[in-house]
Amino acid sequence: MNVEQAYKDANALLEGHFLLASGNHSSRYLQSAKVLEYPKKAAELTDALAKMIKEAGVEADTVCAPALGGVLAGYELARSLDVRSIFVEKDGEGGMVLRRGFEVAEGEKIIICEDIITTGGSAFKAAQAIEALGGKIVAFASLANRGFCKRQGSNLEAKPECKLPQNIPFFALDDFTFEMYTPEECPMCRRGEGEAVKPGSKG
């Protein structure tokens, strides 16, 4: 499947002149929730992700997502893998916690799933919360990889910013690596292509 085209078709891959949360500018932006707007399309993406995971011989009992961003992707991946779906949420102190009556058994094999992995910070915190309860992290998964972490089958190497442990496989459908510029060196600014806008700020 052509993952980039699927993102474009869903208007999840935006092109323009964007102001990122970091203060940097970019000509492309992933509005990752948009690709999950239509459940049947979402299922096609997670079916492809589940296939990669199964073909690598990874077996799991449960998919766990960090809320809020990962919940839909995690739920659909659990459906594709025919396993249980749970999620962790922010504990208000910088970590993640399992609430709402969800439980993890000792040794339960768990995949941490996000919609998009940038540095993997939230996914790593989710993994820590699950491991503290006795769960075993067998893989990380996301629909899109922003190119800071190395996914299985990609030639791109992990960057120092990657928070995911190197000894656990990371599966993603594709790499989406975009150039980022400081405002001073931004080519769109230099060409006078208007002010950089916050993605999604139009509505």
> Residues in the site for Zn ion, rule: CB under 5 A?
25, 186, 188-189, 196
Least distance to Zn ion, CB of residue 14, Å: 15
Of 25 and 150, CB closest to Zn ion: 25
> ω before 49 within 30° of 0 (cis)?
no
CA-to-CA distance for 129 and 76, rounded, in angstroms? 21
Q: Provide φ and ψ at 64, rounded to 5°.
A: -120, 130
Of 54 and 190, CB closest to Zn ion: 190
Least distance to Zn ion, CB of residue 201, Å: 15
Chain Cα centroid distance, residue 104: 22
- The answer to whether the CB of 58 falls within 8 A of the CB of 93 is no
Least distance to Zn ion, CB of residue 198, Å: 12
Of 104 and 186, CB closest to Zn ion: 186
Chain Cα centroid distance, residue 200: 18
Of 20 and 168, CB closest to Zn ion: 20
Kindly give the pairing relationship between strand 84-90 and strand 96-98: antiparallel
Of 99 and 190, CB closest to Zn ion: 190
Closest residue (Cβ) to Zn ion?
A: 186
Buried b (16+ CB within 10 A) or exposed e, 144-157: bbbbbbbbbeeeee
CA-to-CA distance for 50 and 68, rounded, in angstroms? 21
Least distance to Zn ion, CB of residue 27, Å: 9
Least distance to Zn ion, CB of residue 17, Å: 6
| Termini Cα distance of the chain | 30
Of 26 and 80, CB closest to Zn ion: 26
CA-to-CA distance for 110 and 38, rounded, in angstroms? 26
Least distance to Zn ion, CB of residue 179, Å: 11
